[in-house]
C-alpha cells in the first residue's frame, strides 16, 4: 500500500512539483487546507515560495498555525521546503520582524550581500550548490539525507537563511562565497530543506523518498 503524504495548501507552495515528486517515489500525495487534515496526517510537508510574512498570514487565515504546532508535538514526520523551512523557526527579519511557527529555536536573516572576501555577490542566491556536513560529529544516517554523498549539489532559490540557535540542529550547510547557509535543519522528526528537493534531480528525489520512509 502506498504511503500517504499530506502537503499543506495555503496558496504559496510548489504543490504540483512536490506532488509529482511524491508520486514518482510511489507515495500518495494529499492536499490539506483545513486544521483537521493537518492533524490527521501521517507525514506532512510544508512547502513555500515567497515572503515570510505572507506565508505566515496564509497559515493563520486558514487556522493552520496551532494544528501545525500540535502535529509537531506528536513526533510525526514533518518537512519544510524553502519558505516552509524558514517558517519552522521562531522569528524572521524580512521586511520587519515576524513570528514564525516556533518549532525550532532560531532566527531567519538576510543572506549577506558580500562574500567573505568582501566582494558583492548576487542576491537572491539562485542555482546549484553543494551540501556539506557542518559537524563531522553528526551522522546523516537515519535522516532525510541518508545515503546522499557530501558534496551533492541541490537547487536553491532564496534571499534569507535560517540560523538555528543550536548547532546540533544544522544537519547540512551550503557555502556561498564564504557565507554559511543552512541547507538542512533537523530536530527529531522535524526536517527543513532550504533547497528544493523536488527540483534537484535524482538526489533530491532520494531525499523525498527518505522522508516518505521515516518512521
**Is the Cβ–Cβ distance between 172 and 140 less than 8 Å?**
yes
Distance, in Å, from the CA atom of 70 to the CA atom of 47, rounded to the nearest integer, reads 18
82, 94, 125, 193: the active-site residue: 82
Asked if residue 59 lies in contact with residue 68, where contact means CB atoms within 8 angstroms, the answer is yes
Catalytic member of 98, 125, 158, 196: 196
Contacts of residue 112, defined as CB under 8 A and 6 or more positions apart, other chains included, come to: 179
Residue of 94, 125, 198, 209 marked catalytic: 198
CA distance 39 to 19: 19
Q: Is 196 a catalytic residue?
A: yes
Round to whole Å and give the CA distance between 92 and 200: 26
* 132/111 Cα distance (integer angstroms): 18
Asked if 79 and 49 count as a contact pair (C-beta separation under 8 A), the reply is no
CA 121 from centre of chain: 24
Q: Is 82 known to be catalytic?
A: yes
Tell me the catalytic residues.
82, 196, 198
Amino acid at each position: 500500500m502506498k504511503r500517504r503524504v499530506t502537503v499543506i495548501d495555503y496558496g504559496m507552495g510548489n504543490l504540483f512539483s512536490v506532488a509529482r515528486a511524491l508520486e514518482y517515489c510511489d507515495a500518495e500525495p494529499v492536499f490539506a487546507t483545513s486544521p483537521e487534515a493537518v492533524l490527521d496526517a501521517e507525514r506532512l510537508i510544508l512547502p513555500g515560495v515567497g515572503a515570510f510574512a505572507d506565508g505566515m498570514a496564509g497559515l493563520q487565515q486558514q487556522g493552520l498555525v496551532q494544528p501545525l504546532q500540535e502535529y509537531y508535538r506528536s513526533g510525526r514526520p514533518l518537512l519544510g521546503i524553502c519558505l516552509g523551512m524558514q517558517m519552522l523557526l521562531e522569528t524572521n527579519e524580512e521586511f520587519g520582524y515576524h513570528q514564525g511557527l516556533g518549532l525550532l529555536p532560531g532566527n531567519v536573516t538576510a543572506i549577506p550581500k558580500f562574500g567573505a572576501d568582501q566582494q558583492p555577490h548576487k542576491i537572491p542566491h539562485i542555482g546549484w550548490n553543494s551540501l556539506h556536513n557542518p559537524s563531522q560529529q553528526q551522522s546523516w544516517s537515519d535522516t532525510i539525507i541518508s545515503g546522499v554523498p557530501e558534496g551533492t549539489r541541490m537547487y536553491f532559490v532564496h534571499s534569507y537563511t535560517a540560523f538555528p540557535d543550536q548547532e546540533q540542529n544544522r544537519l547540512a550547510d551550503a557555502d556561498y562565497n564564504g557565507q554559511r547557509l543552512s541547507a538542512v535543519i533537523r530536530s527529531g522528526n522535524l526536517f527543513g530543506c532550504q533547497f528544493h528537493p523536488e527540483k534537484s534531480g535524482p538526489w533530491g528525489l532520494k531525499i523525498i523518498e527518505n522522508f516518505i520512509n521515516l518512521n
